[in-house]
Amino acid sequence: MTDIAAASPSTAANWSLPPLSGRLPTAYRIIWVLLAFGSAATLAWLAYSARMETTILILRLCKGVVLLAVATILFRRRQSDLVAGLLSSAFLLWIITSSFDVAGGSVPLAVGLADRLRFLLLVLALLLFPNGEMTPAWARWVAIAACGVFVLGLVETVGAAPVHLFLPLAILCVLSAVTLLVVRYRNSGSMAERQQLKWIALGLVSGISLILATRGGAALNAGAGRPVIEPLVLEGLFQAGIIAIAIGFLVSLLRYRLYDAETVISRSVAYAALTLSLVAVFAGTEAVIEMFGQQYLGMGLGNISATMAAAVAAVLLSPLHGRITGWAEKRFQRDLAELKEQLPEFLAELSGISSTARVGEMALQRIESALYAVRTALVLDSRVIATTGIDLRATEHWLQGWSIPDPHLFHVEPSSPFALRMPLRCPFGSLRGWLLLGPRPDGTPFGRDDLDALTAIAPSLKRALFSAREREVERDQEHAEQRRLRKAIESLGSRLAAVERASDRT
């Protein structure tokens, strides 16, 4: 896989860093190997020497293994990429620092310093993502501020100044860097870069939310003087947040399954909203039942209130799931939602006034835009009627040597120019055509949501195409009949003229 394009020269509004070259890759490899050994040693220490609850130990080890795997993949696949180098080093440092209670202060000095360095590397990676450019211009001020906060963190760690400003200022720098990613997403004209930023947004939003929830839960426990939230739950949320951030960066930088970002975001939001809704319904129902029991019966209902609340939540599960899933799809999978909702109506309007070629062209444009297919084609009655992303004659030439597969609902052949083929059948079952789709720009296959969208629009597409085709056949028959009648009239006129000439002679 090719590296992300090198950064452009510095301008008044742009500042960029070059890719790793010269002696820098060698220095980076040495540093990375040292950090990898340190991370592995930390994991080994956790496994054999750390005194902690077994479940917490397993969570920390799983997180460490995931981060080590992500850092190794980035190191192996993108050695000349500055952003990947910063992230890979930050993840290795994160293995070390997140294995200790850095916020508590009872850690070795080296671990505290590594935590501050990890913060700086992560913020710089966010500011330079994805191609080593800091845009817009005020990103440089965020970088300078991050360096200042890093120095402040070092001062706090060594105890040279009795201040505790590093954590809030570090959070502010991270939020500023995330805001820059949002600005970069809105200004980007590259579809691939926008998809990369979506994966980063998914990882950062979910990861930072989990980490902040952990901090909030710890503060709640400290304020209450007792564990309101189980420490095991907080530990699981914290480690899951780190893993989510790492996975988001890995997928984005490797550009693998970039175009599944909307699907993953939609499902993640739907499951999170459904979980919160059910928890709220359960807690609210239990509280109401317990309150009425004490008010009217003079006693607590105990397990009965919990059972009744669980029953109410179970009854509401299906309608809540349908509504939340539908909302998430419309909000985060807008292209697919609009394709399923608007294309059938549009095709119904076109089918009565347009040719099959016109219907095919308009349908393919919307399908290509929603599914990110690099090329599409429509075949009807053994004739290519429309294409996008590929020449029509080239498609016809390919069609001549194509052995028609078994007409299942979908036929997948990754090595073909058209990796996905959907048969178009008439109402009586006979095969009349094919909808052909090439792969997505990253070469990955279409997801289940894409196939579901094609299945949803297939009836409307077939009706529009077949209706337009039948109308063309009828029109061709009418034209042929009109030509036959004209020829018959011309022949009759010639005969009448011949008869008149013969009568004139006599």
**Each residue's pLDDT tens digit, 208-224:** 888 888 888 777 777 76
> For 157-176, how does the pLDDT look when each residue is reduced to its tens digit (9 = 90+)?
887 766 678 888 888 998 88
Identify whether 392 is part of a domain: yes
> How far apart are the C-alpha atoms of 240 and 59, rounded to whole Å?
9
Instruction: Say whether both 199 and 58 belong to one domain.
Output: yes
Please check whether residue 292 lies inside any domain of the structure.
yes
Q: Are residues 46 and 70 in the same domain?
A: yes
The answer to whether residue 456 sits within a structural domain is yes
- The answer to whether residues 318 and 343 belong to one domain is no
CATH number of the domain residue 80 falls in: 1.20.1070
pTM, to two decimals: 0.66
Domain shared by 183 and 50, yes or no: yes
- Beta strands in 337-400, from DSSP E residues, in sequence order: 376-380, 383-388
| Residue for token pair 């947004």 | 201
Same domain, yes or no: 292 and 348: no
pLDDT digits (tens, 9 = 90+) for 315-324: 887 888 888 8
Q: What is the model's pLDDT at position 196?
A: 83
Q: What DSSP string describes 45-65?
A: HHHHT--S-HHHHHHHHHHHH
Segments of the chain scoring below 50 in pLDDT: 1-14, 104
Based on the domain organization, do 233 and 289 belong to the same domain? no
237 contacts 210 by C-beta, under 8 angstroms: yes
Distance between CA 201 and CA 210 in Å, rounded?
Answer: 14
Angle at which helices 109-128 and 166-187 pack, to 10 degrees?
20
- pLDDT at residue number 372: 83
Q: 375 Cβ partners below 8 Å, 6+ apart?
A: 368, 387, 388, 389, 390, 417, 418, 437, 438
Distance, in Å, from the CA atom of 254 to the CA atom of 246, rounded to the nearest integer, reads 12
| 146 and 35 within one domain | yes
Whether residue 294 is found in the same domain as residue 244: no
User: Which residues, in sequence order, are CB contacts of 318 under 8 Å at separation 6+?
Assistant: none
> Could you count the other beta carbons within 10 Å of the beta carbon of residue 144?
10
Distance CA 328, CA 263 (A): 10
DSSP secondary structure letter of residue 103: G
What's residue 8's pLDDT? Answer: 37
Residue 422 — left, alpha, or beta (φ > 0 → left; ψ -120 to 50 → alpha)? beta
Grouping H, G, I as helix, E, B as strand and the rest as coil, residue 412 is strand
Residue 174 near residue 211, CB atoms below 8 Å: no
* Residues of the domain holding 185: 23-256
Q: Which residues pair with 384 in a beta bridge?
A: 379
